[in-house]
Amino acid sequence: MTLRRLNPQKLHNSKWSKVAPENKEKHFMVVKLLLAEDESRQVEHVVLEAVLTRRQWTMPWQKLLDEAQWKQGW
């Protein structure tokens, strides 16, 4: 797994492309950041939305670091 550096606080509205598209969903946008409920308030998860289908799902933001699965931008 190749990792890139990201600032999780700046992920909101960022655009991503899936390396291996599923269900004709290739392009995605981060529509929401989910913060930890403790006093740190650090980003734990992101909500991604598929551009084509508008389907949304939540995943840990660290998964976007995997260049084998995700590319930044469209």
What confidence tens digit (pLDDT) does each residue in 45-59 have? 999 999 999 999 999
**What is residue 39's predicted lDDT score, i.e. its pLDDT?**
86
**What is residue 3's predicted lDDT score, i.e. its pLDDT?**
57
Which of 9, 22, 8 minimizes the C-alpha distance to 57? Answer: 22
Which of 25, 27, 65, 60 minimizes the C-alpha distance to 46? Answer: 60
Q: What is the pLDDT averaged over residues 16-40?
A: 95
Which of 31, 33, 36, 35 minimizes the C-alpha distance to 15? Answer: 31
**What is residue 2's predicted lDDT score, i.e. its pLDDT?**
55
What's the CA gap between 36 and 20, in Å, rounded?
30
What confidence tens digit (pLDDT) does each residue in 4-13 have? 678 999 999 9
Can you give the pTM of this predicted structure? 0.88
